[in-house]
C-alpha cells in the first residue's frame, strides 16, 4: 500500500545526492592546484533501478564516478602555485554542463515531491472514507 511513498522517497534521496555532487562541482570549478598535483575531480552520481517493473523498489545510487585528475593547464605565471614555466592546473569541468545537470536533478526532485504529495493525499482521502 505504501510502495508509492517508498519509491518517491528513494527518488528524492538519489536526486538530492545528484544535486550535492553538482553543487560540489560548481563550487570547485575554479580550484587551482600546482602542476605536480591532481586537479579537483568532477563528481558524478550513477543511479540504478531497484526491482524495475515490479511496482516496488524505486531507485538507488549505484556508485559515484569521478572525472579526470589531469584537469587543464592554464598559463598564470603570477599565481603562487605556478610551476617554473608559469602553469597551474584547473579542473576540467564545464559550467554549462553542470548547470544543465542541476536543472535536471532539480526537476526530478520536484517531480518526486509532487508524486509524494499526491500519494499522501490519496492515502488521507482513503482514511477519511473509512471514517465515514
What is the average pLDDT value for the chain, to the nearest integer? 91
Q: Is 31 left (phi over 0), alpha (psi -120 to 50) or beta?
A: beta
**Phi, psi torsion values for 79, nearest 5 degrees:** -75, 140
Can you give the pTM of this predicted structure? 0.84
Calculate ∠ Cα 33-46-62, nearest 5°.
115
Q: What is the pLDDT of residue 71?
A: 94
Question: Does residue 91 register a pLDDT over 90?
Answer: yes
Amino acid at each position: 500500500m505504501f510502495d508509492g511513498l517508498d519509491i518517491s522517497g528513494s527518488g528524492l534521496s538519489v536526486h538530492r545526492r545528484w544535486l550535492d555532487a553538482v553543487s560540489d562541482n560548481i563550487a570547485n570549478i575554479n580550484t587551482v592546484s600546482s602542476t605536480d598535483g591532481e586537479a579537483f575531480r568532477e563528481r558524478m552520481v550513477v543511479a540504478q533501478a531497484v526491482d524495475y517493473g515490479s511496482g516496488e523498489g524505486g531507485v538507488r545510487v549505484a556508485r559515484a564516478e569521478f572525472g579526470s585528475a589531469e584537469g587543464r593547464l592554464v598559463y598564470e605565471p603570477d599565481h603562487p602555485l605556478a610551476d617554473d614555466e608559469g602553469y597551474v592546473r584547473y579542473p576540467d569541468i564545464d559550467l554549462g554542463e553542470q548547470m544543465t545537470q542541476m536543472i535536471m536533478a532539480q526537476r526530478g526532485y520536484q517531480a518526486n515531491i509532487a508524486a509524494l504529495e499526491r500519494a499522501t493525499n490519496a492515502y488521507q482521502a482513503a482514511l477519511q472514507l473509512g471514517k465515514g
